[in-house]
Amino acid sequence: MIRPYNMATGAAPFDVLQVADIGDVPINTFDLKKSVAIITEYYRGVLAHGAIPLTLGGDHTLTWPILRAVKERHGPVALIHVDAHSDTNEHMFGEAVAHGCPFRRAWEDGCLQNDKVFQIGIRGTGYSPEDFDWGRKQGWTCIQAEECWWKSLTPLMADIRSRIGDAPVYLTYDIDSLDPAFAPGTGTVEVGGLTTHQGLEIIRGCAGLNLVGCDLVEVSPPYDPAGNTAVIAANFLYEMLCALPRVAEAAAKNRK
């Protein structure tokens, strides 16, 4: 069997980890609120086996129930949240459970270490200044997309690693963080986004952190007729696998 090898980082995850596709997570297709409870219970079972879940979505709401299960296993976590939107609304069209609200809900549930929350790539328009500033008021570090233009994000990730230290950390990556020139296959595109190179710098920059879970969300196949967005998402998820602690440690030893 030929096993993938990351030529850039030297990571060979299938040589170091037991990796499995455990299929679709059950949901209630008619009730999003009930789906939140179902997802939380499912991830309790996954985490009970000592697994590090890497999840593909779908609606960004799913990160909230995953974080609830992760908190039960690891306690409150550091968060690296890459997105065009802050997803910290109190309500979205009158609903508290929606893809614009998951990190407000996770904060309310005590899932996050506020001094170790980093939001990268936030941009576009909002309904009020609070859409951008609510997280900052909680002590989060919010890095708008304009601060990333024309830059390598490698120095940023070095700073984030030093600030997170050995705390457990969850990485959530919304594909709409990328400029729609790269990833049009999503429901809420915003111009002026990150490049695929910057996306790789962020994910590879997580190597060395105590990653306890990751997800890649908001890919919408109906909006992705050429399949480019899905290809980027699959590659980014593989890069997350390569950044997991045991894989990154083995790759570092091999480079010496």
74 is in an annotated binding site: no
How far apart are alpha carbons 186 and 174 in whole angstroms? 9
Q: In 3D, which of 238, 171, 219 has the Cα closest to residue 57?
A: 219
85 is in an annotated binding site: yes
174 is in an annotated binding site: yes
CA distances (Å), origin 44, targets 38, 137, 148, 186, 235: 10, 31, 36, 29, 27
How far apart are alpha carbons 192 and 145 in whole angstroms? 7
Residue 151 exposure: Cα atoms within 13 Å on the Cβ side = 15
83 is in an annotated binding site: yes
Q: In 3D, which of 231, 199, 174 has the Cα closest to residue 60?
A: 174
87 is in an annotated binding site: yes
- Please enumerate, by residue number, every residue annotated as part of a binding site for Mn(2+): 60, 83, 85, 87, 174, 176
- Please enumerate, by residue number, every residue annotated as part of a binding site: 60, 83, 85, 87, 174, 176
